Chains A and B, each alone.
Chain A
Amino acid sequence: MKTRFNTYLLIVISCVTFSSCEVDVTNDLTIETAAPKLIIEGGLERNLKNPLDRQRIRLTTTRDFLNNDTQTPLVEDAVVTVSDGNTPYVFSYAGDGFYENTEIAPVVNGEYTLKIIWNEEEYEATETLNEVPLFDAIYSVFEEETLVTDEGYFAKFDTTDPEGIANFYYHRIARNGEFIVVPDPGNSDVLVISDEFFDGQQRVGVNPNDEIIFEIGDEAIVQQLGISEHYYDYLYEVFVQSSAGGFSFVGNPPPESIRGNVKNLTNSANRPLGFFYAADVEEAKLIIRE
């Protein structure tokens, strides 16, 4: 279990000094931009409750960090395949950087290898799909405002962790059909969790994302994903980096680009970013009531 409690120390800094201040310096800085790198985003999902008609992987490249005027550069001319050890499935380009395949049917404990050929360089990554336990119950609860959450209705669930297996979970939530995530310091505590300290136990009242508030009548889709340890470590770093800002004294990690699981077999110096994952998805729908 990882807990980035340090993020909240910023609060004490503010109340001790009354004097701290933040200034937007976006337009005062010039930062250097490195040559574009390949970004892999996506993977395979096995969803028994709501079976997917296709699997998607998105390929893009990096761009200038502070320039908000340009669009995400897309990679449109790559050759993408995923193999389950027997059959290579070709993912064909479907626009907006997405590569899709409708044939592949992910299975529990399946080992999948992604291969990408782009700009005469070959990339590769391997992931194993881990089974996820089901929800025991799903319900909505009203909660008062706290320092880090607003007042409102939350979608919560109960679930029982299987004993004797190291499990890693990732939570996703949709409000009225739209999956939402916000850059919040709590993400690394809330959106991903390992069973290190509750192996084999039932967890009651799990809030999949305490930033997402519902109103009566809203429809919630709650997902619990079983993921690999490697993807858990990766997502943990993603959530820390995307929300921690730069306060060294509140436990900011050293500024390092986050290492994924994709290797460049042709030229390891031109390291790609992103992750190719395989996940098992438990899903439930809920209409928020009083």
Chain B
Amino acid sequence: MTNLKMAVWLGCILYSGLLYGQQEFTLSGYIQEASSSEKLFGVTLVLNGSIGTTTNEYGFYSITLPADNYALEISYLGFQTIRQEITLQGNQKINFELVEETNELDEVVVKSNRVAKAITSTEMSVATLKTETIKKIPAILGEPDLVKSIQLLPGVSSVNEAASGFNVRGGSADQNLVLLDEATLYNSSHLFGFFSVFNSDAIKDVKLYKGGIPAMYGGRLSSVLDVKQREGNAKEFNGLASVGLISAKALVEGPLGKGEAKEGKGSYMIAGRRSYADAFTFLSSEFKDVSAYFYDLNLKANYELNENNKLYLSGYFGRDKFGVKGLVNTFWGNGSGTLRCSSVLSDKLFLQASGIYSNYSYNLDNLRSGAEFRWKSVINNYNFKPRLSWFINGNNTVKVGTDFTYYNFKPGQISPLKGSSVVPQTFQDNFAFETGTYVDYQQKVSEKLSLQYGLRWSTFNRLGKAEVNQYETGNPLTYDSELDNYIVNPVVGTTTYKSGETIKSYTAFEPRFSMRYLLTDNSSVKASYNRMNQYLHLISNTTSATPLDVWAPSGTYLKPQSLDQYALGYFKTFKEGAYDLSLEGYYKNIRDVTDFKNGADLLFTESVETEFVQGNGRAYGLELQVNKNEGKLTGWLSYTLARSESKVLGINNNQYYPTNSDQLHELNLVGIYKLNNRWDFGANFIFGSGRPVTYPTGRYSQNGLVLADYSDRNGNRLPAYHRLDISATLNPKSGKNGKWTFGLVNVYARQNASSIYFSEVSEVNDQEVATGQTQATKLSIFGFPLPSISYEFKF
């Protein structure tokens, strides 16, 4: 029934498109960067100052207009604007090449409407960052980092400097859909959160949706981080290599099938990065038994089959290793491969389809003598994502598609190492099939009013083969109010499901809506609403996510999480786009947010349903961002005022408590100063009010050790966090290829509290003893200024 309804609705939309006048023609084509032929996404085309469109992910645009003469203006941040007269008297295909703005200081800055997009687009709660900007911001140990950079934007934060992932508008790290060329990454961090998995050299651009998420995306509650890899230079072979304190990187790119032609039929890009932190561990004898490193590989290639059909291949493989001799050895990472094709079916119809394989796995070897074993856990997923875009005319665009995802979770396989007596064991596989079918409609109602609305219909089926435990009361856990604890109910039997048989299915409608109303030529108001469903849960019994946390699919006992978000915003530009401002407010309501029960044990547990509990959450806040877009000094100021709370039975006396990512005030100031052709300077200042912490309210002892009693979860606050980082880039002289970057993180040596913890004094004269004495300790991850230097050269 629901499918029929959608078909009728879709039919109405399509029919309404046909009602437009007869004498209309379509202008379409690709827009690319001049020096490398990289296709550009999000380029704005404006005709006669008002009718407009933007290029899609493949650099394709299409606009249908009555026959007439038009003044066309094509603009994109960081590129020179193209102005051209077009006489439209038939369908036309025109490809454009944009030239990067030169570094000349005396250049006449084209004050186009290049920031006007922020005003005119229906998108809100969206942040985009370009690799060039990321590279100019001061970075920890000189490693430019995408995830650390987006944390300088309003509404994006991290629990601490060493937490995996990032938090968007008070959401947890697992509520972010992280896409690398459309493939889902399950862990976005290297080395437990110090660095992200994204090699900045291999990344073209990044777009973060914090709200108003279009119907094309689904499966996570809080945000979508859409990262695109560079396609490679289709005109000539290029290389880039760099060495820094933490890693060495290399990238090569070039044309494919070029022959004698000026430009290849395609291009490729291969990039690699390897940290050498393990080299340092040999410096100090204290760390002689420790090994820790990461590496990753990025690959992308595209090939033009003919004028209308293109093929893309992209891949990512990354691994982290951390081991302590005689104790533990771990190895984890993501891998993904994406094969895509795009096809211009007609001037107005654009088809894209992607087949994706992605994998996340980790090994954990316990090397303690007597019980050596290896634990292996894997998530495989297979996606197929076809999408059709119909550029009906200058005012209406429809996108329809379905995302199919098949999951195979291998939660655990245990095998003995070194001939230990550990019994080999394999937990049963979990299988699931998820779909998201959507219609997204962009409609320009009038000069002032634009709408984007859509509907996503998502389904999730847990499939056999499986044996599912049945519990005495029907539920795995019962809350005992006397013990204030959850009791695991006895298993009374199991239900066996055959291979492919549905165990449990969930379906949901997810309406999406956003609107923009132009108040004046340089200001607008926007509103949006989105509902999201999340069928996978990252169940972590630590206060911040670690790479070894367990991803669990919804099923018989674990319900999907769902969210409603409402947002309202005001956008304005000043001085012809030299400055722009955005102010947004949001409210989020979350159902069935997952939390672990007290003392949950997740690492080696097959029946995770006995380890978690579900409750409700809410988050609300206000975000302000002011950008300076022109001149020698560019940058932004962002301020966030926010709250994020959860309420779960059995936690905090069943009352709302602040989540770990709750932070009332956050202020970021980022400045990039271009002194001359050779020197660029960057600085950022971060201020955040204290994060939640729980101080003990009592002390007692058990079995010879001191313990703490607590009352309110996250009832106390750490001291405020602030830090200044600076960087300087020495660009090469003309004709030379080497570039130096210098950085200093935590300039004024602020000892920010990453945590304050309470413990028994356990060491006297270098001897470990139980003293019965207690202490409070502040841990600062950056205790003093941290310098860095890196060198990059092109070849």
> A residues near B, CB below 8 A?
1-3, 5-6, 8-9, 11-13, 15-26, 28-29, 31-34, 36-37, 39, 41, 60-66, 68, 72, 146-148, 179-184, 189-190, 193, 196-207, 211, 233, 235-239, 241-243, 245-261, 263-265, 268, 271, 273-275
A9 to B369, CA, bound (A): 20
Kindly report which residue of chain A lies nearest to residue B275, judged by CB atoms: A16
Q: Which of B289, B701, B784 contacts A146 (CB 8 A)?
A: B289
A22 touches B755 (CB 8 A): no
Cβ-defined contact, A65 with B703, below 8 A? no
Please indicate the chain B residues that have their CB under 8 angstroms from the CB of A64 in the complex.
Answer: 698-699
Q: What mask results when residues 283 to 302 of chain B are scored 1 for a CB within 8 Å of chain A, else 0?
A: 01001111010000000000
Q: Is chain A's interface secondary structure helix, strand, loop, or mixed overall? A: loop
Chain B residue contacts of A68, Cβ below 8 A:
773-774
Contact across chains for A197 and B163 when beta carbons are under 8 A apart: no
The residue in chain A whose Cβ has the minimal distance to the Cβ of B290 is: A11
For window 748-788 of chain B, which residues contact chain A by CB distance below 8 Å?
751, 754-760, 762, 768-770, 773-784, 786
Residue of B with least CB distance to A245 = B757
Give CA–CA (A279, B710) in the complex, Å: 28
B11 at the interface (CB under 8 A from A): no
For residue B364, which residues in chain A have a CB less than 8 angstroms away from its CB?
A: 3, 5
Complex partner residue of B780 from A21, A201, A236, A255, CB under 8 angstroms: A21
Say yes or no: is B277 at the interface (Cβ < 8 Å to chain A).
yes
- Is B280 in contact with A15, judged by CB distance below 8 angstroms? yes
Asked if B327 and A147 make an inter-chain contact with CB atoms under 8 angstroms apart, the answer reads yes
* Whole-angstrom distance between the Cβ of B135 and the nearest chain A Cβ: 21
Task: Knowing that A1-B604, A31-B716 touch, tell me 18 more A-B residue pairs with CB under 8 angstroms.
Answer: A21-B751, A28-B776, A33-B697, A34-B697, A34-B698, A60-B700, A65-B708, A66-B776, A72-B701, A183-B759, A198-B421, A204-B370, A254-B596, A255-B694, A256-B713, A257-B710, A273-B707, A274-B700
| Residue of A with least CB distance to B280 | A15
Give the docked Cα–Cα distance between A273 and B543 (Å). Answer: 23
* Mask: chain B, 123-164; 1 = CB below 8 Å from A; 0 = not: 000000000000000000100000000000000000110110
Please tell me the size bucket of the interface on B.
Answer: 35 or more
| Chain A minimum-CB-distance residue to B486 | A259
B484 within 8 A of partner (CB):
yes
Asked if B272 is at the interface of the complex by the 8 Å CB criterion, the answer is no
- C-alpha spacing A204/B418, complex, angstroms: 13
Q: Which chain A residues lie closer than 8 Å to B422 at the CB level?
A: 197-198, 201
**Any A CB within 8 A of the CB of B175:** no
Alpha-carbon distance A268/B481, docked complex (angstroms): 7
The residues of A that contact B751 with a CB separation of less than 8 Å are: 21, 23
Let me know if B598 is at the binding interface, CB within 8 A.
yes
Q: Can you sample 20 A-B contacts with CB below 8 Å?
A: A1-B371, A9-B322, A15-B281, A23-B777, A29-B756, A32-B697, A36-B698, A179-B704, A183-B706, A198-B371, A198-B423, A236-B599, A242-B760, A243-B759, A245-B777, A249-B163, A252-B757, A253-B542, A254-B542, A261-B483
Are A205 and B370 neighbours in the complex by a CB distance under 8 Å? yes
CB of A148, distance to nearest CB on chain B (Å): 6
What are the nearest 8 A-B pairs in CB distance? A246-B757, A21-B783, A62-B698, A248-B543, A255-B694, A201-B421, A34-B697, A242-B705
Report B-chain residues with C-beta under 8 Å of the C-beta of A20: 779-783
A65 to B541, Cβ gap below 8 A? no
Q: Are B784 and A182 in contact (CB under 8 A)?
A: no
Known contacts A5-B330, A65-B758, A255-B713: A271-B706 contact under CB 8 Å:
no
In angstroms, Cα B194 to Cα A233, docked, is: 32
The distance in angstroms between the C-alpha atoms of A60 and B784, with both chains bound, is 44
B669 interface residue, CB < 8 Å from A? no
Q: Once bound together, how far apart are the Cα atoms of A5 and B549, in whole Å? A: 12
Contact pick for B421, options A39, A204, A242, A253, CB 8 Å: A204
- Taking a contact as CB atoms under 8 Å apart, the answer to whether A271 and B484 are in contact is yes
- Expressed in whole angstroms, the Cα–Cα distance for A203 and B420 within the complex equals 8
Indicate whether B504 reaches chain A with its CB closer than 8 angstroms.
no
- The docked-state distance in angstroms from the alpha carbon of A189 to that of B364 is 15
Indicate if the CB atoms of B777 and A249 lie closer than 8 Å. Answer: no
- Given A147-B326, A238-B705, A274-B700 in contact, is the A19-B710 Cβ separation under 8 Å? no
Q: Which of B481, B543, B544, B702 contacts A275 (CB 8 A)?
A: B702
Q: Closest approach, in angstroms, between the C-beta of A178 and any C-beta of chain B?
A: 11
A21–B754 alpha-carbon span in the complex (Å): 10
CA distance A20 to B192 in the complex (A): 15
Q: Are A181 and B704 in contact (CB under 8 A)?
A: yes
Query: Which chain A positions have C-beta within 8 A of B447?
Result: none
Residue in B160, B482, B769 whose CB lies within 8 Å of A249: B160
Contacts of B777 in A (CB 8 A): 22-25, 245-246
Q: Does B698 lie within 8 Å of A63, measured CB to CB?
A: yes
B72 touches A (CB below 8 Å) = no
- Is B786 in contact with A201, judged by CB distance below 8 angstroms? no
Q: Give chain A nearest CB distance to B549 CB in angstroms.
A: 9
Closest to A234 in B: B599
Q: Are A26 and B775 in contact (CB under 8 A)?
A: yes
Residue of A66, A146, A190, A243 near B325 (CB, 8 A) is A146
- Encoded as 1 (CB less than 8 Å from any A CB) or 0, chain B from 568 to 596 comes to 00000000000000000000000000001
| B705 close to A233 (CB less than 8 A) | no
Min C-beta distance of B600 to chain A, whole Å: 8
* Docked-complex contact A241 and B707, CB < 8 angstroms: yes
Of chain B, the residue at the smallest CB distance from A185 is: B762
Q: Is B637 part of the contact surface with A, judged by Cβ < 8 Å?
A: no
Q: Is the CB–CB distance between B781 and A2 below 8 Å?
A: no
Report whether B780 and A146 are in contact in the complex, using a CB–CB cutoff of 8 Å: no
* A193→B483 CA distance, assembly (Å): 24
Q: Which residue of A lies closest to B716 (CB)?
A: A31
The 8 Å CB contact of B711, one of A6, A34, A203, A258, is: A34
Closest A residue to B194 by CB, please name it. A16
**Residue among A62, A239, A261 with most chain B CB within 10 A:** A62
Does B193 have its Cβ within 8 Å of any Cβ on chain A? yes
B779 touches A246 (CB 8 A): yes
Tell me if B241 counts as interface (CB < 8 A to partner A).
no
CA distance A180 to B193 in the complex (A): 37
Residues A248 and B660 in contact, CB atoms below 8 Å apart: yes
The answer to whether A24 touches B289 (Cβ under 8 A) is: no
Q: Are B768 and A65 in contact (CB under 8 A)?
A: no
Do A253 and B546 touch across chains, with their CB atoms under 8 A apart? no
Decide: B698 and A148 in contact? CB cutoff 8 A.
Answer: no
B695 near A13 with CB under 8 A, answer no
- Asked whether B324 is an interface residue with its Cβ less than 8 Å from the other chain, the reply is yes
Residue of A5, A29, A32, A273 most packed against chain B (CB within 10 A):
A5
Which one, B277, B481, B755, B776, contacts A247 given CB within 8 A?
B755
When C-beta atoms are compared, the residue in chain B nearest to A249 turns out to be B162
Interface string of B365-398 (1 = CB under 8 A from A): 0101111010000000000000000000000000
Report the nearest A residue to B291, measured CB to CB.
Answer: A12
Nearest-Cβ distance from residue B39 to partner chain A, whole angstroms: 37
Chain B: CB-nearest residue to A61? B700
Is B696 part of the contact surface with A, judged by Cβ < 8 Å?
Answer: yes
The residue of chain A having its C-beta at the shortest distance from the C-beta of B599 within the complex is: A237
- Give chain B residues whose Cβ lies under 8 Å from the Cβ of A205: 369-370
